[in-house]
Structure 1
Amino acid sequence: MAQTFTSLSAPQVMLWGLLFFGGIYLCFGAAAWLLTKRVLPAAGIGRVLDPRPLQPGQLRRELTQSGVSVLIFGLGMVFPWGLLQLGWARLDPDAGWRQIAVEIIVLAIWNDVHFWINHRLLHTRWLRRFHGPHHRSFVTTPWSTYSFHPIEALMLGNVILLPMVVHDFSFWSLAAVPVFSLFFNCIGHSNYDFFTGVSYSHWFAASRRHHLHHAVHNGNYGFQFTFMDRLFGTRVAADAAEPVLQAFRKKHGATA
């Protein structure tokens, strides 16, 4: 597969990139939507985090912005391909499954570091305007996952470039990054608590933490894990959104 990828032309790489990112976005988004809207509620598993309704036209806006992000991510596959063509990076064609597993773990940790740094920058006054389109989704959906301004998409989409120039990864390790990244991102934006019995600090409570980020618009800049927010003191309190949610419940006569 490594040899096949490097032998493609630039237009072929971009076409396959578009199909890949568009495919995983639609598949994961549809699966998360079906699970959180139909399957899990019917089975009595988990709970909705934010009961407020979606804004008028929100889904159409999210899908439109996500389409632009898919375009950027897909066409952007030419950059890692270009690193290989220039000889600035190499793929390891002989990596065994143990090496691939270790590489994926390392890349997952790096993904969290990279995401926190860029996400924190996007909340500074210089870059905040580029993060605003994503935060228009006060109540998130799985389709919010790629709903970015193009600048934000460029910032988040370069996650594998630095690792590629410092280590010869397997093709499969690098290809896994957008897959697990989108999977966890869909969970984080699902507005659904899948594991109500775990603590707020647990890895499986990522949807709770990211729900709070959208509800209060500061803190919880991390991705799936919590170590970056812990290290830099940017964690949001577990009950930070309660004043907003209680006001909504009171207004609409709800008690839960």
Structure 2
Amino acid sequence: MSRAEWNHAPEGAIAVSPLWQWPPRPVAVLKWYSDTWFPMTINLCILALAFICWGLLSPALETASNLGFWVLGIWLRNAVIVTLLAGGLHYWFHGISAQGTELKYDPRPFPRQGRMFSFSDQLKDNMFWTIVSGVTVWSVFEALGWWGLANGWLPSTTFSQTPIWFIAFFFLIPVWESFYFYWIHRLLHTNALYRFHALHHRNTDIGPWSGLSMHPVEHVMYFGTVLIHLVLPSSPVHVIFHLMFYALLAVTSHTGFEGLRIRNKKRVHLGNFHHQLHHRYFEVNYGNLDVPWDKLFGSFHDGTEAGKTMMRERLKSRKRT
């Protein structure tokens, strides 16, 4: 990719999960998901945080059988978590500029000011929509999950009842997220719904607060992923992890930086160039890399000049039709 266009871009073409390739490549699949989860990854950190929240910062299941102040407690817990994470990453990358522009994808300065943003300020805009709308919708879905499980309205399970399923569910959630996110994202890019999604796309360059900066309608669709628990037996910790995964991964994947560098070494992988391309070009990479819907439907941009050429040709042919 041109360095005039990108301050930093990964080498080579973006790869998708080998899970869907034929003939099967079991070793490649194992490596893909091993790298996604271990040894120290965002996925694993979110999973650990979900168990901490389940054990220490959540209501007892009996308490959740009736709606009450415990719902406010869930909102407060989620608001503190997202503020510490997004605020901490923003402070690191932009407050003290600890990395400068090293590993930053977009060369433009962040955040920006302009009338397109609420309060004419990108950071304030992002923070407002993340906390007021994002955390609220996230917490309502979580509270409804607790309420449904406590009253037996949702299928439930425990580790002692189904140990294999209990563990496997955590690893399947990111795959379901990839399946689900593509389709709601395509819907949000239709003429009927883009007026809601446009709020998120104010951010052509992105920061940690940008990931959950969405219109309330989009937040309902985004966190609606958790409705899968209406049919699959789960535990409260599955619901916590599922929603937390969607919320916090949006924060970490929208930092605008490939990773966090400390003492001249990338310690944690954060940003996703695949999705950064979507914020730049809008009509590519609607999904993510665990389920290759974009490749199947011709909207995949692999981050190379060849990918850019294919994108331009596709958009030209669409205009001609």
- TM-score (norm. length: structure 1): 0.78
Partner secondary structure for residue 283 of structure 2: coil
Look up the match of 2:108: 52
Partner secondary structure for residue 81 of structure 1: helix
Q: 1:231 to 1:242 in 2, by over 3 A?
A: closer
Give the distance between the partners of 1:90 and 1:148, measured in 2 at CA.
Answer: 30
Which of 150, 166, 173 is 1:100 aligned to?
A: 166
Look up the match of 1:190: 255
Q: 1:32 to 1:225 in 2, by over 3 A?
A: farther
Give the superposition deviation at 1:82: 4.3
8 A contact 1:52–1:139 mirrored in 2: yes
8 A contact 1:193–1:205 mirrored in 2: yes
Give the superposition deviation at 1:77: 2.9
Q: 1:62 to 1:123 in 2, by over 3 A?
A: same
Give the superposition deviation at 1:184: 2.4
Residue 7 of structure 1 aligns with an amino acid whose one-letter code is: T
8 A contact 1:6–1:81 mirrored in 2: no
1:89 aligns to 2:154 (yes or no): yes
Which of 26, 29, 33 is 2:86 aligned to?
A: 29
Look up the match of 1:14: 71
Residue 104 of structure 2 aligns with an amino acid whose one-letter code is: V
8 A contact 2:200–2:215 mirrored in 1: yes
Look up the match of 2:297: 232
8 A contact 1:6–1:84 mirrored in 2: no
Give the superposition deviation at 1:105: 0.9
Report how many aligned residue pairs link the two structures.
Answer: 233
1:121 aligns to 2:179 (yes or no): no
- Which ranges in structure 2 are unaligned for 5 or more consecutive residues? 1-53, 114-120, 261-268, 310-321
Residue 65 of structure 1 aligns with an amino acid whose one-letter code is: W
Give the distance between the partners of 2:85 and 2:68, measured in 1 at CA.
Answer: 26
Look up the match of 1:199: none
Q: 1:178 to 1:224 in 2, by over 3 A?
A: farther
8 A contact 1:133–1:148 mirrored in 2: yes
Give the distance between the partners of 2:143 and 2:236, measured in 1 at CA.
Answer: 15
Mean alpha-carbon deviation: is it higher for 78-87 or for 142-151?
Answer: 78-87
Look up the match of 1:110: 176
Give the superposition deviation at 1:49: 0.4
Mean alpha-carbon deviation: is it higher for 12-21 or for 125-134?
Answer: 12-21
Give the superposition deviation at 1:137: 1.0
Mean alpha-carbon deviation: is it higher for 151-160 or for 46-55?
Answer: 46-55
Residue 126 of structure 2 aligns with an amino acid whose one-letter code is: E
Larger Cα-atom Rg: 2
Look up the match of 1:142: 208
Which of 186, 209, 220 is 2:285 aligned to?
A: 220
Give the distance between the partners of 2:144 and 2:169, measured in 1 at CA.
Answer: 20
Give the distance between the partners of 1:142 and 1:78, measured in 2 at CA.
Answer: 25
Give the distance between the partners of 2:184 and 2:251, measured in 1 at CA.
Answer: 19
Give the superposition deviation at 1:29: 0.8
Per-residue CA deviation, residues 80-128 of structure 1 (Å, 9 max, x unaligned), is: 2343356331332334765433111111111111111111110111100
Which of 164, 167, 174 is 2:239 aligned to?
A: 174
Q: 1:231 to 1:5 in 2, by over 3 A?
A: farther
Which of 127, 134, 155 is 2:221 aligned to?
A: 155
Give the superposition deviation at 1:226: 5.1
- TM-score (norm. length: structure 2): 0.63
Partner secondary structure for residue 11 of structure 1: coil
Q: 1:97 to 1:34 in 2, by over 3 A?
A: farther
- Which ranges in structure 1 are unaligned for 5 or more consecutive residues? 196-203, 244-256
Q: 1:59 to 1:192 in 2, by over 3 A?
A: same
Mean alpha-carbon deviation: is it higher for 29-38 or for 138-147?
Answer: 29-38
8 A contact 2:142–2:239 mirrored in 1: no
8 A contact 2:223–2:246 mirrored in 1: no
Give the superposition deviation at 1:177: 1.5
Per-residue CA deviation, residues 126-147 of structure 1 (Å, 9 max, x unaligned), is: 1000100000011111001110
Give the distance between the partners of 1:127 and 1:235, measured in 2 at CA.
Answer: 22
User: Alpha carbon RMSD of aligned pairs, Å?
Assistant: 3.1
